[in-house]
Amino acid sequence: MATPTPGSVSVAASTAAVYGGRSAPNPVPYLVNSNAIWTWFGQPIALRAGDFTFSGGVSSAGTISAHIIDHASGNAVSTVQLSSTALEVDDHDQPQFCVLPSGNIFAAYGKHNDEASRYRRCTNPADPGNAASWTAEAWVGSVSQGMFSYPSPMVFPADTSKLYVISRRWVLASPSTRALSFRSATNYDTGSPTWTLSTDLFKVENRIPYWKLRQVGSVVHVAITNMHPVEGAAGLYYFRLVHNGTGLEARLPDGALITAGFPITNTDCSLVADGSSTRVWVLDVAEGADGRPRILYTRYPGNDGSAIEYWHARWTGSEWVRTKIADDGAGLYSPEVYYPGGGCFNANNPLRVCLSLPVSGVRQVVEYQTSDEASWTVRRQITSGGSAGSPLKFRPISPVNHDDRAAYLYLSGTYTTYTNYSTASYAVAG
């Protein structure tokens, strides 16, 4: 598929629409924060609650902040520093958010590898841009079970008495094994929660898996690789976590129970894309209108990062059907040659994806759409201008439960490594 040319996409149809009784939002991107970055792991990196969209990031000084868009006040943005100090200069450290049953907001964050995840709660969600609305920084559970990354908080309707934080655990006594794990807490919306020890959900010995999560009610769709593609033949797998009212269980896409006890491994899961000859990496996962999973991922012809492709996979009920969406070009930098520009599903509509890819030699953020999940066309080009790599426009995300006033956020700026960057975050309406 050819990449779009600048100015080739009309936004007239978008601006003529009506969103929830309001006038159509302005499709021109607007600044959220002039000093912010995120990686593409962790979920959700952004969400909407009422008239507010919550996102967050790591500054070039290593502080972690929440960036709160007040849509009722003309998209005014407030910044609340979450970390009590500068943690580290590393794009992996951004916060992930969860709306608690009370309406309070839970934000979890931490270092790339931290003793335990950290968190704060917004206990006055009507005024989230006020630093006084947030509790003091606290720790998620015990600090004796290894190092943790990418904390994803969630509450399941099947049992609202517990809050779960799903994260990566660096397994003790193993320099090269990471696990997808969780801790849960009761009394989580108070100053005195009770945390469990960590339970591993998925693990591959001597490998570093990567995943994306999508919670829909009491189900969490998990798209996961068995290793980093730099380690070797990284394949893509799927399973779902289901809260059955008493605890979590793992199931295949057809609903069959995975009978192996936790932690499961990649051979217990459903194979989405075989990486034995061509490596792959995960970008996002979503649930379609039919209740079945969709996965956005990257494929690496040549297995060296010199060429990257964006692919889509959907579960038909009996098999995975895979289609190519577009080409991404080469990786963002050496030695992380497998880093793509990034992409995501529209959080409300998995028939749309937002990708960062070269347009006439300049990396832009472009939205694609499909009607049949087999062929993809450009819906609109969100960014324009610049020159090759200056500024870099990349890593789009779509806020959970957005109402089109901030359908996507993305980064723009200079990015040399995940510990050397100068980027701003922008939002664009639906």
Which tens digits make up the pLDDT trace of 360-392? 999 999 999 999 999 999 999 999 999 887 899
Q: What tens digit of pLDDT does each residue of 151-161 get? A: 999 999 999 99
- The first and second tokens of residue 281, run together, are 């990496």
Q: Is residue 1 part of a domain?
A: no
> CA angle 54-288-97, nearest 5°?
20
| Contact assessment for residue 36 and residue 411, using Cβ atoms and an 8 Å cutoff | yes
Distances (CA, A) of 203 to 3, 140, 266, 269, 271: 38, 21, 8, 12, 16
Q: Is 199 exposed, middle or buried (0-12, 13-18, 19+ CB in 10 A)?
A: middle
Per-residue pLDDT tens digits of the chain, which is 430 residues long: 344 433 333 333 333 333 344 444 568 999 999 999 999 999 999 999 999 999 999 999 999 999 999 999 999 999 999 999 999 999 999 999 999 999 999 999 999 999 999 999 999 999 999 999 999 999 999 777 999 999 999 999 999 999 999 999 999 888 899 999 999 999 999 999 999 999 999 999 999 999 999 999 999 999 999 999 999 999 999 999 999 999 999 999 999 999 999 999 999 999 999 999 999 999 999 999 999 999 999 999 999 999 999 999 999 999 999 999 999 999 999 889 999 999 999 999 999 999 999 999 999 999 999 999 999 999 999 999 998 878 999 999 999 999 999 999 999 999 999 999 999 999 999 9
What is the per-residue pLDDT for 37? 98
DSSP string over 147-167: EEEEEEEEEETTEEEEEEEEE
Domain count for the chain, please give it.
1
- In this structure, is residue 6 part of a structural domain? no
Q: Is residue 3 part of a domain?
A: no
Tell me the two tokens of residue 35. Answer: 């000093």
- List, in sequence order, every beta strand (DSSP E) within 255-334: 270-273, 280-287, 293-299, 308-315, 320-329
pLDDT at 142: 74
* DSSP label at residue 131: G
User: Could you tell me if residue 284 is inside a domain?
Assistant: yes
Residue 196 lies in a domain: yes
Query: 419 lies in a domain?
Result: yes
Query: Which two tokens mark 120?
Result: 């704060």
Residue 5 lies in a domain: no
What is the per-residue pLDDT for 175?
A: 84
% residues pLDDT > 70 (the chain): 94
Angle (nearest 5°) at CA 29 between 327 and 349: 60
pLDDT the model gives residue 144: 78
| CATH number, domain with residue 271 | 2.130.10.120
**Is 292 within the bounds of a domain?**
yes
Domain that holds residue 358: 12-428
